[in-house]
Amino acid sequence: MISPVKIWRRQRHIKDQLGKTGKILTWTKIYIAAKEFKKNAPYYVVMVELDSGRRLYGQLVDLMDEKISIGMKVESILRKVRQPSQDGVIAYGIKFKLLKDE
Whether the pLDDT of residue 11 is over 80: the answer is no
Whether the pLDDT of residue 61 is over 90: the answer is yes
pTM, rounded to two decimals: 0.77
Domains of the chain plus CATH, in order, are: 4-98 (2.40.50.840)
Work out the pLDDT band at 6, boundaries 50, 70, 90.
Answer: low
Query: What pLDDT, on the 0 to 100 scale, is given for residue 85?
Result: 66
Query: Identity (one letter) of the amino acid at 46?
Result: V
Query: Identity (one letter) of the amino acid at 43?
Result: Y
Query: What pLDDT, on the 0 to 100 scale, is given for residue 8?
Result: 61
